[in-house]
Amino acid sequence: MKRLSISILILCACFGPVAWGQQPAGKCYNHWAQFHRYNMQRWNRCENVLNVNNVGNLQLKWSYRAGYQVEYSAPAVANGVVYVGSMDGNLYALKAGTGSKLWSYHAGDWVRSSPAVANGVVYFDSNNNLDALNARTGALLWSHSPGGDSSPTVANGVVYVGGGDNVYALEASTGATLWSYTTGSFVTSSPAVANGVVYFGSEDGNVYALDANTGTLLWSYRISQQYGYSSPAVVNGVVYVGSFDHNVYALNAKTGAKLWSYLTGDVVWSSPAVANGVVYVGSIDDNVYALNARTGALLWSYTTGGWVYPSPAVANGVVYVGSDDYNVYALNAKTGAKLWSYTTGAFVASSPAVANGVVYVGSYDGKAYAFGVK
């Protein structure tokens, strides 16, 4: 199944939807509006429909052919709409309940980026530009060039995104540049924002931490000769990230000091998901790993039939992840036991989103899928 060459995979840049936006304290909104949330945890703590007891009954609700391959764009789900990018150059808005097309916007280039939805606007990167569209109509509001190789993250009225060798902070309402920071190479990971700090990786092999307001460098940590495409997740003062050197790293979020690392069998392009004290991540050694978030100790691993470069999604005790073997999997978050799988028509490089009892994911077969229980 390993038909994707390293050269093709290098373009993936871990493009996933970026998971849900900021939520007021005490409130819970069951949607998945960015790739990982603004802090990149990829955990929907609000999901209460799907669980370990009923996920085995998941069935296909609908599929939508998005013109061409849905490569690395992971769906974003907000206000009853699913947003997903396609290699045909379009961003699609689909009705979450039926999969019917509401609108599409032609960006003029491949859309590997995962959309981010905030305050009625959907943001996405088409390699040439970062575009901001009216989330209801698809009308273009503004565009920023250059675009880049990462999915945008929206936090506190600011859009953070990689473009070329730079990370940009843009005013979310206008696209005006607030600041930019230049690294030594392409910025291919999606930024994570937590406690006033922006964390991201660059192909120069470093993980960076910048002041979110000014772009001032706080620290950098070199994890390998080449970074890869894993986007950091920030939880409880720790930055978790995968690396080209086959490791998963845990770094002190304030200082960048290494806390621990775990060696997998191959490159870790997957972005970690962190929930309930566990780090879930894939490797192109065909495995999904669950690691103790405090110590890095292996809790379990599950072997699929192909590379696991998408990022897992965690919701209500279940881990969802795609594989190069054409399948989407649901695994028991505590044990790693397989609860369910579905075979699509090609590689699953898109990272799943889980909201309101439905699992959404894209496939290299050109379709966006939605799975639910009757």
Average pLDDT over all residues of the chain: 86
Closest among 232, 135, 241 to 193, alpha carbons compared: 232
Q: Categorize the per-residue pLDDT at 9 as very low, low, confident or very high, splitting at 50, 70 and 90.
A: very low
119 vs 109: which has the higher pLDDT: 119
Spatial distance between the Cα atoms of 267 and 244, rounded to a whole number of angstroms: 5
Among candidate residues 194, 267, 272, the one with its CA nearest the CA of residue 232: 272
Looking at residue 344, its pLDDT comes to: 95
Tens digit of pLDDT for each residue in 113-156?
789 999 999 998 876 788 999 999 999 999 988 666 678 999 99
The string of pLDDT tens digits covering residues 159-208 is: 999 888 899 999 999 999 999 999 988 888 889 999 999 999 988 889 99
Structure confidence at residue 5 as a pLDDT band (50, 70, 90): very low
Residue 67 predicted with pLDDT over 80: no
Domain annotation for the chain: domains and CATH numbers: 6-372 (2.130.10.10)
Question: What is residue 289's predicted lDDT score, i.e. its pLDDT?
Answer: 98
pLDDT at 73: 77
Give the burial string for 203-229 (b: 16+ CB within 10 Å, else e).
Answer: bbbbbbbbebeebeebbbbebbeebbb
